[in-house]
Structure 1
């Protein structure tokens, strides 16, 4: 099976111009088809542009995952999502509870402050040194 110029360039990780230059210089033999496109044999291409181990390492390794493994992964992700959702709900409840407590404490503080203020102002009379009322 032969490759086009574009496929050959992708296969050897070179620019199309580089592969075309090798053809024009005669280093790579590639006849043209009836439409004028180059038919490049893969073995001929790799003779001129050998596949190196680094090229092979750069290619991603695709490992097929079975449907069973996909289902397991989906269930794991669902469990993680449920746990995160539960944690989020718990945190929201805690924040709401803390806000209520803070509001109650603030109201209680205002009431106590008002009581203290009222006690001092209710007794408009001045007290003497020993706490006896003096008439002014």
Structure 2
């Protein structure tokens, strides 16, 4: 089997739904449009269209982009389990963090570096807060 045939195929509806959910979360985290585009590896026009809510709009995303969406959704889920109040759930990503990984930067700054490792490692460190064992 080739790598292409093994790759997960996503429907356009799945792509749109996931992207809109991730964009909504990133907006609540107070990410700039540039930060959101780097985190999700999407263009500015795709970001803008996802925000508009046009029901006729569709988009195809690759496996990397869908994995980034998944990590944003999982970070959000972990934050909801760790914190009871919305100020922390949505504010944590914008708060400076003195953990050695973040080194005084905000989780959002780290995620917005744009590489998958930074996004994944941010997820890992937040997931540990809820008691996940690595």
Under TM normalisation by the shorter chain, which class is it? Answer: under 0.3
Give TM-score, length-normalised by structure 1.
Answer: 0.23
Q: Which has the larger radius of gyration?
A: 1
Looking at both structures, which has the greater relative contact order when contacts are Cα pairs under 8 Å and sequence separation is at least 6? 2
Q: What is the TM-score of this pair, normalised by structure 2? A: 0.23
